Structure 1
């Protein structure tokens, strides 16, 4: 299967075409924890995003400007992303859980011109205000505050028409930040043509989204997965995006799937695992649900078997990264092999390669790699040629994951070849956790690794050497955990802390996290 990328492409313009085709159809269907609903049709979404684009254009946001977006799930996120694409601005997705150091780093690294946030994040942005020379515009999605322009105050007077920028398919559109094992997060560059490539396979042949579907993809804005499924795969197919703004609860999710006509579900393995553990699972009747997908980390066999037995539904696994798109998966019509990641995408050449970049034979464990000319591959890490170069090995982009391919082309995940921690669908770099911990006055040295966990797949565990005069205690453990939460996003904190006298190191003094990971696996097995 070959993709013929157009010279010019803008995803927002494609969504507007659906507004012409079926203006009265639901585009976004929002539900909060209290049961309150809000709906925008495709034409209402077109006009809403146009008004936002006019506001942002009026205050000075132009084509090519980088804008950090910090908003939670909801209709506003869809309107903002479409508006920024229409302007030709570069979207920097950011989780609403980021802390000021994360925000300051991203803004300075990207030289962002504007930040758009919801009320709950403004106090995290404020400390960065004086540390970020490139920032010119501070926009809150609510009402104006001291130093912040209120988007809500300005929308009413705006024209509902807007001429979408003519953007080249190879022009920068998204700048997502992903965790690294050393140094700060990396700015992953994706162009306007990326959604075009993603729609061709991931939306149609993995999620199996059709025009008449209601799609619930549980990822939140700020993550590449939100762009993948709730945004591109849903609106790009003319379907309805169902958005639940409340917290996860296994019974809550099952009740919603029973009550609402959700026909396509995309959730994390952790969410599926917890739903599968509900004791009276067979009481739920998910009559509308016909397609279920999982991504973020490997899905265990027990969950697949449970959903097949109870709901006669196959949960199809998928594998991809912030740097690319769906690379491997159990596509529609492909028989799942529980424990396997599935088979390569029809538009991606996937191989298992050795340290020299040579393809390995069937059954051999090596690095999972893809052809460096794959159309949906990122365009490099922003202003970081060294880390960009390290991601490639000859003609291959090396994912950082290891696996093996069987005789039928199915790929089996064997583990990370680096130290990245994937917990509950979140990707966490050990450096971020360690950097926060060593800022505590009691910590002399530390190392963070993945520790197996039955619900989250893995959790963060920190091995900590204390400074002289400090004594291990439950109180200090709690204090260190809170310290990490305050310095970086709360999901990154170490759920386990073990105080040690020394850490395993190489002859050159580098911490051997692999030994600590192996120790954790042995203790859990």
Structure 2
């Protein structure tokens, strides 16, 4: 019998049925709680119901559910019947949904009632679809989850599956063509828990942990789902929108012990003007997605006595490099490789580079949590590898002590006047200025220099804009903080920056606008 994460969660439920599994809070302050025992029985009910209507091992199911307790129940139930889960963000539009259904030959959609219209519009051109299940209000043409399960058995239900069965197909954008369906197998949660899912996030049994990622992305499976439930913790879920003061208030009010948030969320919380009024008691704090600025790390250490530890991973793998709790933090570094020999820096020919040389961040084929390929796309799967190494698309270097340092996406690296410059080191310098809230740096074409550094800056107070005087002030600031050749020759003040749903800045959009 292969590994099944849902079965492992049931074991926890049998040992501590009354332990709180999920505490969900909406923006109006209404709380909903579910214990491990309730999570076990409710996922059993749904698994029995899905099996009864004909969903079986290997069937692919698209899930369109926002943050909340239902997402935990649905994911566990689908794993119990051996299905292949296809996570979908609530932000997907009709064409995005259509692409996933047609590409993966989806058999069933489970959607929140507010998201059903995007599916209804493309039903006629998706012949693989057979079942439509809705969470929340009843909708015409959809079977409500509540009525489907109300008379169903509470008996344990979990099929026999193999480790190699495909558990997740998580779609991620490619530089060309449609989104790529990243395949992970049923043994993946076990490998994730054996590394970063336990020793990086560091959830202890019974602890209240808040991982802010939303369903629809692999990062939600990483932390809110597998890392917390797999370690018998309690998942805190907030369904309201992000506001830095509100987040800090909730961490204080509920006594949250662990926090896993995006760099953007940390940056904006660190910039709150009255930060000293909040009394947080975080035991552990981690971040992934993009490197954290030293200013943010120093602020959380000074104000809350907690080191925010960075980590690095991708949809195609798991947490690959991280700052573990027993490793001295080096601000700006992603940390050290979790499984020695599986992550390295290589050149264009797939040869490992010496320390302190910038190259491709690459993952060896033998990494136990590396993806199984892109669904129905052998060509792009093969292109992702260079010999025995999977090329992440990120550039970085490794120092003599084994710490990895992120330099940017392969297409984000700036070469100006012969200097190779990572955008993060310029951004890190800029956000240290007290007037800067956020920024992004890209290469901008220049006749004389090939490219110059161009910065897009969000100010903490928009009224601070004083044209060239503030621009000169920021340029001189960067020259003082870092090497003069990293000074942005062009600075533009903006109200917002384009980002992915996980908080990563989309520098490609800024470059495209700059080249128009």
Distance 1:496 1:22, change over 3 A: closer
Residue 103, structure 1, aligned to residue 124, structure 2: no
Structure 1 position 212, deviation (Å) = 2.4
Structure 1 position 519, deviation (Å) = 6.5
Distance 1:322 1:340, change over 3 A: same
Paired residue for 2:374? Answer: 381
Distance 1:454 1:59, change over 3 A: farther
Paired residue for 1:124? Answer: 118
Residue 357, structure 1, aligned to residue 350, structure 2: yes
Paired residue for 1:372? Answer: 365
Partners of 2:136 and 2:144 within 8 A in 1? yes
Mapping of residues 276-287 of structure 1, within 5 Å? 276-287=270-281
Deviation string for 1:255-312 (max 9, x for gaps)? Answer: 001100211100000100110001110111112x100000111111110010001111
Alignment: residue pair count: 438
Paired residue for 1:320? Answer: 313
Paired residue for 1:208? Answer: 202
SS at 1:257 equivalent: helix
Which one is further off, 65-74 or 409-418? 409-418
Between the aligned partners of 2:250 and 2:36, the Cα distance in structure 1 is 23
Structure 1 position 163, deviation (Å) = 2.2
Q: List structure 1 runs of 4+ shifted beyond 6 angstroms.
A: 517-520
Distance 1:93 1:454, change over 3 A: farther
Between the aligned partners of 2:399 and 2:510, the Cα distance in structure 1 is 28
Paired residue for 1:414? Answer: 407
SS at 1:30 equivalent: strand
Residue 273, structure 1, aligned to residue 267, structure 2: yes
SS at 1:147 equivalent: coil
Residue 227, structure 1, aligned to residue 225, structure 2: no
SS at 2:109 equivalent: strand
Deviation string for 1:360-412 (max 9, x for gaps)? Answer: 11111110011111100000000111100011111111111001111111111
Quote the RMSD (CA, aligned, Å): 2.6
Partners of 2:197 and 2:319 within 8 A in 1? no
Which one is further off, 143-152 or 331-340? 143-152
Structure 1 position 155, deviation (Å) = 2.0
Distance 1:94 1:16, change over 3 A: same
Partners of 1:66 and 1:113 within 8 A in 2? yes
Partners of 1:369 and 1:399 within 8 A in 2? yes
Partners of 2:108 and 2:130 within 8 A in 1? yes
Residue 35, structure 1, aligned to residue 29, structure 2: yes
Gapped regions of structure 2 (runs ≥ 5): 414-452, 460-497
Residue 184, structure 1, aligned to residue 178, structure 2: yes
- TM-score where L is the length of structure 1: 0.80
Distance 1:220 1:152, change over 3 A: same
SS at 2:121 equivalent: helix
Between the aligned partners of 1:372 and 1:25, the Cα distance in structure 2 is 39
Which one is further off, 188-197 or 152-161? 152-161
Partners of 1:404 and 1:413 within 8 A in 2? yes
Mapping of residues 234-313 of structure 1, within 5 Å? 234-287=228-281, 289-313=282-306
Partners of 1:143 and 1:152 within 8 A in 2? no
Between the aligned partners of 1:24 and 1:33, the Cα distance in structure 2 is 26
Structure 1 position 333, deviation (Å) = 1.1
Between the aligned partners of 2:401 and 2:201, the Cα distance in structure 1 is 22
Between the aligned partners of 1:213 and 1:453, the Cα distance in structure 2 is 40
Distance 1:290 1:182, change over 3 A: same
